[in-house]
Amino acid sequence: MSYIVEQLLKRGFVHVPGFLDIEETEALADDYRNGQFHRTVYTLGHAAPEAIELISDKIRSLLTQFEDVTQFKPSRFGGGAYFATEKGINFGWHQDHESYFINQTHQHYLNIYIPVIKPELERTNLCVIPVDRFMEHAPEAWSRLEWGGAATAKTENGRTTISNDHAGGLHAELDFELEELGETPALAAGDALLLRGDMFHRTQDNDTERVAISIRAFNPDITVVREHYEQSCPAKRWFQANNPMYGAISDAFEERDRMILSELMMSMFKARQARERAAQTQQSAAE
Ligand SMILES: [Fe+2]
């Protein structure tokens, strides 16, 4: 088992210094500067397919390390999104939401997070709660949270509550501040921080200029079911109301109760193309 796989299974994250070389890092920084922004529930820059293509061999070769790992097998990756402090990206402790609503699990889900503009090593990083530390301090809570997602942690008076933003209610109450378990890898531009989808993470600070690309790898063969998608709560409905992608997911599950993830993603992709075509037609009619 490689060092990377071992660390991801044990700690949930691993820092890979110098994952991209200087030319690759610069090319992505330029792509961000020329970029396209889409506003759904937060402002993300979308990486051009040509920019992803530049580093795709590297990502594919990284993913081959998981080929024989039963419990964690991300095998395919999609496009990239840029998270930039100048766009006001600043999140508190959470497990990611939208990837969980789509994948329905964060098992086999890997976030490849690479700063491409990052002048200060010690600042404006991602803070993470290592899996082994969480498990040691709150084994029962972690057993409910492992491979999960769509959770937000709030701390008050030395206690932490973790909300279930997928089905409502609370996942756990902890008698300590989650913050106490945090670690913050100091990342340079071109370093990769590999994170399992179930890792609690937050923005360290928003005080320096930082742009990071996040590329998500997943397993296209896992099964997704209508029943999971239809579980809901006010937090999930808020995401659904703010992104037309969810209409496409509902439509796909109207037709079939279960499918593999790649089929769901194909339906979402086709629906997005149709939306973009309709927007173009509307625009040319207005001109
Ligand atoms: Fe996140």
Handedness of CA 92, 98, 101, 107 (dihedral sign): negative
- pLDDT confidence tier of residue 228, bands split at 50, 70 and 90: very high
Burial of 67 (0-12, 13-18, 19+ CB in 10 A): exposed
Please determine, for residue 185, whether its predicted confidence score (pLDDT) is greater than 90.
Answer: yes
Task: Calculate the average pLDDT of the chain.
Answer: 94
Domains of the chain (ranges, CATH numbers): 3-243 (2.60.120.620)
Q: What is the predicted pLDDT for the residue at 215?
A: 97
Contacts of 29 (CB under 8 A, 6+ apart): 116, 117, 189, 211
Q: What is the predicted pLDDT for the residue at 37?
A: 60
Please determine, for residue 49, whether its predicted confidence score (pLDDT) is greater than 70.
Answer: yes
- pLDDT confidence tier of residue 42, bands split at 50, 70 and 90: low
Choose among 76, 43, 90, 35: nearest CA to 203: 90
Separation of CA 218 and ligand 1 centre (Å): 16
Choose among 192, 257, 202, 178: nearest CA to 13: 192
Separation of CA 68 and ligand 1 centre (Å): 27
Which of 15-19, 88-92, 105-109 is the least confident region? 88-92
Q: What is the predicted pLDDT for the residue at 38?
A: 57
Please determine, for residue 89, whether its predicted confidence score (pLDDT) is greater than 80.
Answer: no
Please determine, for residue 270, whether its predicted confidence score (pLDDT) is greater than 60.
Answer: yes
Separation of CA 216 and ligand 1 centre (Å): 11
User: Are the C-beta atoms of 33 and 50 separated by less than 8 Å?
Assistant: no
Separation of CA 284 and ligand 1 centre (Å): 37
- pLDDT confidence tier of residue 40, bands split at 50, 70 and 90: low
Which of 45-49, 86-90, 221-225, 271-275 is the least confident region? 86-90
Separation of CA 259 and ligand 1 centre (Å): 26
Choose among 61, 200, 224: nearest CA to 132: 200
User: Are the C-beta atoms of 261 and 219 separated by less than 8 Å?
Assistant: yes
Separation of CA 220 and ligand 1 centre (Å): 21
Separation of CA 194 and ligand 1 centre (Å): 13
pLDDT tens for 150-168 read: 999 999 999 999 999 999 9
- pLDDT confidence tier of residue 235, bands split at 50, 70 and 90: very high
The helix/strand/coil state of 225 is strand
- pLDDT confidence tier of residue 287, bands split at 50, 70 and 90: confident
The two three-digit tokens of residue 169, written as one number: 């209610």
Q: What is the predicted pLDDT for the residue at 35?
A: 77
Choose among 25, 37, 199, 215: nearest CA to 118: 25
Q: Compute the C-alpha angle 165/170/174, nearest 5°.
A: 125
Rounded distance, CA 217 to CA 38, Å? 21
pLDDT tens for 134-155 read: 999 999 999 999 999 999 999 9
Separation of CA 12 and ligand 1 centre (Å): 14
The two three-digit tokens of residue 198, written as one number: 């179930």
The two three-digit tokens of residue 16, written as one number: 């890979």
Helices (H) then strands (E): counts for the chain: 10, 15
Please determine, for residue 60, whether its predicted confidence score (pLDDT) is greater than 80.
Answer: yes
| Mean pLDDT confidence for 210-236 | 97
Cα separations (Å) of 217 from 26, 60, 111, 188, 195? 22, 10, 6, 22, 10
Please determine, for residue 219, whether its predicted confidence score (pLDDT) is greater than 70.
Answer: yes
User: Are the C-beta atoms of 187 and 195 separated by less than 8 Å?
Assistant: no
Strands (DSSP E) found in the chain: 13-16, 36-39, 43-46, 76-84, 94-95, 110-117, 126-128, 151-156, 159-164, 170-174, 192-196, 201-203, 211-218, 223-225, 258-260
Please determine, for residue 4, whether its predicted confidence score (pLDDT) is greater than 90.
Answer: yes
238: left (phi over 0), alpha (psi -120 to 50) or beta: alpha
